[in-house]
Amino acid sequence: MNALYKHRLFWPIASLLALIAINAIARPQFIKVTVRDGELYGALVTILKDSAPLMLVALGMTIVIATRGIDLSVGAIMAVSGAVALTIIDGSGSPDNLATVLIAVVVALLVALILGAWNGLLVTVLGIQPIVATLVLMLAGRGAALLITGGEITTVNSAPFKWMSGGYLVALPVAFLIGLLAITIMGLIERRTALGVLTEAVGINPEASRLAGVRARGIIWGAYMVSGILAGVAGLIYASRISAADANAAGVFIELYAILAVVLGGTSLNGGKFSIAGTVVGVFIIQTLDSTILFLGIPSAQSPVFFGFVVAIVVVVQSPRVRTALGSLGGRRRSRGTSGPSTDTVEVAR
Amino acid sequence: MMKKRFISTIAIAGAAAMALTACSSDPEPGASGSAAGGGGGDGEVITVGFAQTGSESGWRSANTDSMKEAFSAENGFDLIFNAADNDTAAQITAVRSFINQGVDAIVIAPIVEDGWDDVLTEAKNAGIPVILEDRTVSSPEDLYAAWVGLDFEKEGTMAGEWAAAEFGDTETKMVVLEGTTGSAPANDRATGFDAAIEGTMIEKIDSQTGDFTRDGGKSVMEGFLQNYGVDGIDLVYAHNDDMALGAIEAIEAAGAVPGEDIKIISIDAVHDGMQALVDGKINYIVECNPLLGELAAGLVKDVLAGNDVERTVYVEDQAFDQAAAEAALPDRKY
């Protein structure tokens, strides 16, 4: 039990379960999952499905943050990627053709990759601070997306493109499976090869890792490219959700929610140690919180306050100092808490 | 100086980003193209500076097009166009530069209501009349010549009256997709609608903001559908077409038929919305007419000629049911 409690994902997962429990008590149909025409349907499935764009962006953000960086341009890259894909599909004259859609997707992802590489270039070769380097694209990218769509919302009626967000495969939403695929690939590459350790080394001490022979430049550059392409996929899913490229609204503030998800998952903004599983839990916390606001019927004007309040609670509960303080206050009944801050968390909060 | 360097950096980066994406760009000069004034002319040409909010929606693009058309060279105007990308400070700077350039008249679609006193006073002192378009300002009335725009509350009332006539006698459970919290169209469209359905059997069971976007409308509608079930909702009132289009996606994904199982009322009448109305997925749309150009141009000419003008000019809005939409769609400009 103690080991479980000490695990660094204990508090994030506990927060997520608590949120789900509150929803389930308030409205029991929240946890009801029904099967309709061989497809799962229900509030929890919707959370899995709708979390895909944030999941992809947050995964990329995790790696970038691990290198001591930050990527503010992800929302703009989403807008560009959606705009590129839909402009191609719209201009093709055969929106239902699978080949057209594939070309559009590939071109959009290439553009996203190039934009990510541009960020990496500014950060690694030119040595610009990540927050400034990616701010450039954050501000300019959305304008570029608007130029591509000519300032309009490009709408297409394309079944194959819509399948990306609305389709199902083995009873599960395709969007969720894309997210799952990204999690798996990231997990395998970062944790089953040395890349994860090298990334952490670069984040903890770039100079020391350079002296130890780690090629920091390539690792950091790669992180921004991964973030760019994941944002590109997120942009496609977003555009597919509404069958339209809404360059003004696509991915607005998603960079901040992604950073929040990474932090909720226990990865420090100081770089170094990162947790992909933590980020996944963080994303689900944010998405569930979004649904909670709808489910509890919190008025629009108050929902940002509610959101901020819950996030504040989750962050405070995770803080090692608060946990120590709670532990010593709580006496015997809270004896489990007196074990103090776990070594993991201390490292994370370094 | 820091700021200047920063902005030039962004400009360079922006140019680079555009070059990178140029493969599929369609460089229509719609977003921020400017028609720089070519000097004073013969005194016959009226130089007008237009400070647009930005290009945030289909409605706004149609509005910009209408203004550009009305203030064209053929009509005797030289238009200096600026789109501020929803940045209030940038918009005030643009208006100030119009004053410095010595334009004959200034048209502003203010992004926000407050903070206009100083720059409007400068324009007044320079003897340049200001016409407000679409949105209003909180400044004293003598600082601008006239306002032309839309009556959002009446749009809500028209939508509500139709709902009351169609569904008022049967028990109807309605959900509302609100516009951006605190914005004038969201507030006024809600007020007008609520007043019109008062005393009928239409019951508002929930209301949430979808931020005027398609994705917002879809997300909120998904939540409503899970909360109340397809059978628990009879009517959706969306404060704009984009949110209604998002709601259609959500309703279809839930296995119901929009326009039949769940009726939809919306405001705006942009092209995609009208198409959905023709397709039977939306039941009623009240227009929010973006074609303010001609009225604004007329006001500018009248004010410069020294004629008395109405201080507040409302544009007439129409409303469409499915049959009317089918008739109107082919000739629509937006």
Contact B13 A114 (CB under 8 A): no
User: Measured between alpha carbons, how far is A74 from A82 in angstroms, rounded to an integer?
Assistant: 12
Quick: pLDDT tens for B7-22.
444 444 444 444 433 3
Domains of chain B in start order, with CATH, are 35-149+290-315 (3.40.50.2300), 152-288 (3.40.50.2300)
| DSSP state for residue A122 in the 8-state scheme | I
Asked if residue A45 belongs to a domain, the reply is: no
Question: For B32, which residue in chain A has the nearest alpha carbon?
Answer: A147
Output the six-digit token pair for B263: 């009726």
Using the predicted structure, report yes or no on whether residue B25 has a pLDDT greater than 50: no
> Considering the domain boundaries, does residue A157 fall inside one?
yes
Give the span between the Cα atoms of B123 and B282, in whole angstroms: 45
What pLDDT is attached to residue B183?
78
> Beta strand pairing status for B312-314 and B284-287?
unpaired
For the question of an ipTM over 0.85, the answer is no
Size of interface A-B (CB pairs under 8 A): 147
Helices (H), chain A: 2-6, 10-26, 43-50, 52-66, 74-92, 98-120, 130-149, 159-166, 174-192, 195-204, 206-211, 216-242, 254-264, 276-295, 303-318, 320-329, 343-348
Q: If you measure CA to CA, which chain A residue comes closest to B65? A: A151
Structure token pair of residue A218: 């390539």
Q: What share of chain B in percent tops pLDDT 70?
A: 86
pLDDT reported for residue B175 = 96
Structure tokens at B294: 């001609």
Confidence grade of residue B236 (pLDDT, cut at 50, 70, 90): very high
Q: Are A293 and A24 in contact (CB under 8 A)?
A: no
CA distance A67 to A272: 6
Q: How many CB atoms lie within 10 A of CB B42?
A: 5
pLDDT, tens digit, 9 for 90 and up, residues B26-72? 333 333 333 333 333 445 789 999 999 887 677 788 888 889 999 99
Q: Give the separation between CA B46 and CA B27, rounded to whole angstroms.
A: 28
**What value does the mean pLDDT take over residues B161-187?**
90
**Residue A87: Cβ-neighbour burial (10 angstroms; 0-12, 13-18, 19+):** buried
Which tens digit of pLDDT belongs to each residue from B242-258? 999 999 999 998 889 99
Identify which has the larger pLDDT, B176 or A31.
Answer: B176
Classify residue A208: in a domain, yes or no: yes
Residue in chain A closest to B186 (alpha carbons) equals A300
Residue A25 lies in a domain: no
B128 to each of B142, B164, B221, how far by Cα in Å?
Answer: 13, 47, 47
CB contacts, 8 Å: B182 with chain A? 301
Residue B247: C-alpha distances to residues A253, B119, B238, B319 (Å): 22, 41, 9, 20
Find tokens 């489910």 and name the residue.
Answer: A295
Q: Which domain holds residue A153?
A: 51-300
Q: Do B20 and A115 touch (CB under 8 A)?
A: yes
Q: What is the pLDDT of residue A2?
A: 63
| Model pLDDT for residues A234-262, shown as the tens digit of each residue | 999 999 999 899 888 898 899 999 999 99
Distance CA B149, CA B312 (A): 8
Domain assignment present for residue A13? The answer is no
The two structure tokens encoding residue B20:
């990178």
**B56 contacts on A by Cβ (under 8 Å):** 248
Mean pLDDT (chain B) is 83
What pLDDT was estimated at residue A26? 86
Pairing mode, if any, of strands B284-287 and B319-321? antiparallel
Q: What is the pLDDT of residue B22?
A: 37
CA of B219 to nearest chain A CA: how many angstroms apart?
A: 8
* Res B43: pLDDT: 53
A64 touches A223 (CB < 8 A): yes
Q: Are strands A154-155 and A244-245 parallel, antiparallel or unpaired?
A: antiparallel
Hey, what are B28's tokens? Answer: 């229509």
A273 inside 8 A of chain B by CB: no
Q: Is residue A306 part of a domain?
A: no
- Amino acid, single-letter form, for residue A301: A
Q: Which residues of chain A have pLDDT under 70?
A: 1-6, 327-350
Q: Do A139 and B222 touch (CB under 8 A)?
A: no
Length, in residues, of chain A:
350
As given in the structure block, the two tokens for residue B254 are: 């839930």
Contacts 24+ apart (CB under 8 A), B251-260: B251/B221, B251/B225, B253/A166, B253/B222, B254/A41, B254/B222, B254/B225, B254/B230, B255/A36, B255/A37, B255/A41, B255/B230, B256/B225, B256/B230, B258/B282, B259/B283
Residues in chain B: 334
Whether residue A67 lies inside any domain: the answer is yes
SS3 of residue A31 by DSSP: helix
Q: What is the 3-state secondary structure (H, E, C) of chain B?
A: CHHHHHHHHHHHHHHHHHHHCHHHCCCCCCCCCCCCCCCCCCCCCEEEEEEECCCCCHHHHHHHHHHHHHCCCCCCEEEEEEECCCCHHHHHHHHHHHHHHCCCEEEECCCCCCCCHHHHHHHHHCCCCEEEECCCCCCCHHHCCEEEECCHHHHHHHHHHHHHHHHCCCCEEEEEEECCCCCHHHHHHHHHHHHHCCCCCEEEEEEEECCCCHHHHHHHHHHHHHHHCHHHCCEEEECCHHHHHHHHHHHHHCCCCECCCEEEEEEECCHHHHHHHHCCCCCEEEECCCCCHHHHHHHHHHHHCCCCCCCEEECCCCEEEHHHHHHHHHHCCC
> What CATH number is attached to the domain comprising A201?
1.10.3470
Given CB atoms, is A256 within the 8 Å cutoff of chain B? Answer: no
* A334-340: long-range contacts, CB 8 A cutoff, minimum separation 24: A336/A1, A336/A2, A336/A5, A339/A2, A339/A5, A339/A6
Q: What is the pLDDT of residues B67-115, one digit of tens each?
A: 999 999 888 999 999 888 778 888 999 999 999 999 999 999 988 888 8
User: Which pLDDT does position B206 carry in this prediction?
Assistant: 92
Is there a contact between A108 and A84 (Cβ–Cβ < 8 Å)? yes
B13, B61, B207 ranked by CB distance to A137: nearest: B13
- The pLDDT-based confidence of B334 (bands split at 50, 70, 90) is low
Region of poorest pLDDT, from A319-333, B261-275, B293-307, B315-329: A319-333
Domain tally, chain A: 1
